[in-house]
């Protein structure tokens, strides 16, 4: 007899499928376009700015370079920071759904129930944190290579510290009890 799925498990499955579907849509949408606008860090070698491209300053050394002469594959790869991250997030949420399906009664009064899928989800969260800036940089490199790799333009990748913090919370949550344990203090006897 199959165990009925919980509402949490169903919700996580829907969220995982939605993130994966959205990632695929963005990847395919990139194949229909010929433009991209990666975020770059401008160094001293970047001046004077490129004459034939629109470079929009974002404050400080950051800028967006608007490029419109890409191949369809280059355009899709330029967006890998978005769609690649969405696919990784879908995997992370799928692991949480698997964990929710196998952690019914194992919580034993803890904030988060321990389990192998939870540990895998924590590792996946760290992978997302590391991969996201690398994917952003890869997309920027593809665009900059398409315009001849101008000197002084360095692809920018931001580290989202939310993901390692979430991994730590998941792992530490297995150690945190829901209710504080109270010490048994005997009452004084009436004489």
Distances (CA, A) of 51 to 20, 27, 149: 39, 30, 14
pLDDT the model gives residue 111: 54
Cα–Cα distance between 84 and 150 in angstroms, integer? 25
Q: For residue 48, is the peptide bond before it cis, meaning its omega torsion is within 30 degrees of 0?
A: yes
Geometric angle at alpha carbon 22, from 78 and 24, rounded to 5°: 60
Tokens of 178: 């829901």
Q: How confident is the model at residue 16 (pLDDT cuts 50, 70, 90)?
A: very high
What DSSP line would sit under 8-44, residue for residue? HHHHHHHHHHHHHHHHHHHHHHHTT---B--EEEE-G
Question: Which pTM was predicted?
Answer: 0.80
Start-to-end C-alpha separation, the chain: 59
Q: Which has more confidence, 5 or 17? A: 17
Mean pLDDT of the chain: 82
**pLDDT over 70 (residue 35):** yes
Burial label for 30, CB within 10 Å (0-12, 13-18, 19+), is: buried
The pLDDT confidence band at residue 24, using thresholds 50, 70 and 90, is very high
Which 3 state secondary structure label does DSSP give 165?
helix
Taking a C-beta distance cutoff of 8 angstroms, is the pair 173, 97 a contact?
no
Instruction: Write down the pLDDT at residue 124.
Output: 93
Among 21, 49, 53, CA closest to 35 = 53
Tens-place pLDDT, residues 116-151: 888 899 999 999 999 999 999 999 999 888 888 888
Kind and range of the H or E run holding 71? none
pLDDT tens-digit map of 76-95:
999 999 999 999 999 999 99
Please tell me the distance from the alpha carbon of residue 189 to that of residue 191, in angstroms, as a whole number: 6
Are 153 and 38 within 8 A, CB to CB?
no
Please check the confidence at residue 183 and state whether its pLDDT lies above 80: no
């Amino acid at each position: 007899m199959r165990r009925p799925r919980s509402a949490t498990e169903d919700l996580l499955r829907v969220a995982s499928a939605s993130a994966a579907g959205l990632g695929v849509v963005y990847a395919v949408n990139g194949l229909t376009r010929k433009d991209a606008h990666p975020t770059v860090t401008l160094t001293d070698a970047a001046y004077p700015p490129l004459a034939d491209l629109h470079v929009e300053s974002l404050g400080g050394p950051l800028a967006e370079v608007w490029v419109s002469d890409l191949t369809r594959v280059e355009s899709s790869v330029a967006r890998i920071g978005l769609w690649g991250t969405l696919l990784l997030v879908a995997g992370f949420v799928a692991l949480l759904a698997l964990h929710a399906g196998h952690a019914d009664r194992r919580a034993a009064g803890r904030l988060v129930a321990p389990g192998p899928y939870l540990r895998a989800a924590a590792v996946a969260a760290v992978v997302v944190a590391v991969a996201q800036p690398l994917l952003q940089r890869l997309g920027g490199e593809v665009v900059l290579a398409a315009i001849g790799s101008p000197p002084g333009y360095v692809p920018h990748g931001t580290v989202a510290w939310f993901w390692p913090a979430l991994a730590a919370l998941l792992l530490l949550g297995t150690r945190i009890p829901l209710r504080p344990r109270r010490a048994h203090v005997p009452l004084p006897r009436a004489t």
